[in-house]
Amino acid sequence: MNELKLDTKILIVGLGVIGGGYAKALTYGGYKHVRCITKEPADVDYAIAHGMIEYGTHEIDEKLIAESELIVFALYPHIFKEWIEKYQHLFSPGTVITDVTGVKTCIVREIQEMLRGDVEFISAHPMAGREKSGVEYSNAEVFRGANYIVVPTEKNTENAINICKALGDALGFAKISTLTIEEHDKMIAFLSQLTHCIAVTLMTANEAPNLEKYTGDSFRDLTRIAKINDKMWSELFILNKDALLEEMDAFAKKFTEFREMLAASDSEGMREEMRKATKRRELFDKPNVN
């Protein structure tokens, strides 16, 4: 394929909270041929009932795969790899495939290497999600104002990169950027994986009863993402272990420094950190949101 158009045949493989969000954003945005293959028949029924897709099945439908021009994989990393190994012979020449996987080092090159030469894989990461999993929690609105990151390698063509960016645009993302695999995984270790480690730790560090009776919104905000898909995130953490350990250690070091300032009643030291934090946080305000 050369261009994303409203009549491009798009297949989404894996209709969970993200795949479902893609289906809604595209179909409700006027794309006429958004189809899906997903494991659970009930999820196909849900998608049909909500007008999210043109057609869907829980089976490996050879004709459906063959006629797809753009295929989005929204699967767990190890299942994504297995799927490609097993079924890539069903793709038509010229098909572009992309993904939504949260880490890139352990997956992008491996897939590009095993993939047929007449099909192109261009990787991407939509920086938006929900703390709940499942198609019934999917919501195209989470992409509005959010960041979409295209992660090309030296194997990718300008054409596929442009199609991938056009997909991010069609989904409604506010900002579309490009990073290398290594830049992406370092960034994601800090911005996303470390924050999930902190939220989980905070949620399990104190088991005193009745705390929920007294909480304010600070604690709620810091632990929203402690409601976590344990299967997916533990897999993503281990796939990006080195980068994540580095960010965890940098955070722990800084946290200890702040602790020492407090122990020494170093008011000015703490205030300086707080002023830096306040100033730097302004950069991260969502446009027109917070």
Site for a second copy in 183-202 (CB under 8 A): 187, 190-192, 194-202
- Of these, 32, 78, 116, 286, which contacts a second copy (CB under 8 A)? 286
Our finding on whether 89 is near a second copy (CB under 8 A) is: no
Number of residues that bind a second copy (CB under 8 A): 86
Residue among 8 and 101 whose Cβ is closer to a second copy: 101
- Of these, 128, 135, 160, 163, which contacts a second copy (CB under 8 A)? 128
Beta strands 55-57; 33-37: pairing state:
parallel
Residue among 118 and 182 whose Cβ is closer to a second copy: 182
Distance of CA 189 to the CA centre of its chain: 13
Which range binds a second copy by CB under 8 A, 17-25, 77-85, 158-166, 218-226?
A: 218-226
CA distance 157 to 162: 9
Which range binds a second copy by CB under 8 A, 7-15, 45-53, 164-172, 233-241?
A: 233-241
Grouping H, G, I as helix, E, B as strand and the rest as coil, residue 20 is helix
For residue 13, list its beta bridge partners.
Answer: 37, 73
Minimum CB separation of residue 99 from a second copy in Å reads 17
Grouping H, G, I as helix, E, B as strand and the rest as coil, residue 226 is helix
Our finding on whether 78 is near a second copy (CB under 8 A) is: no
CA distance 238 to 244: 9
Our finding on whether 211 is near a second copy (CB under 8 A) is: yes
Our finding on whether 216 is near a second copy (CB under 8 A) is: yes
Grouping H, G, I as helix, E, B as strand and the rest as coil, residue 223 is helix
User: At what angle are helices 241-263 and 195-204 packed, to 10 degrees?
Assistant: 60
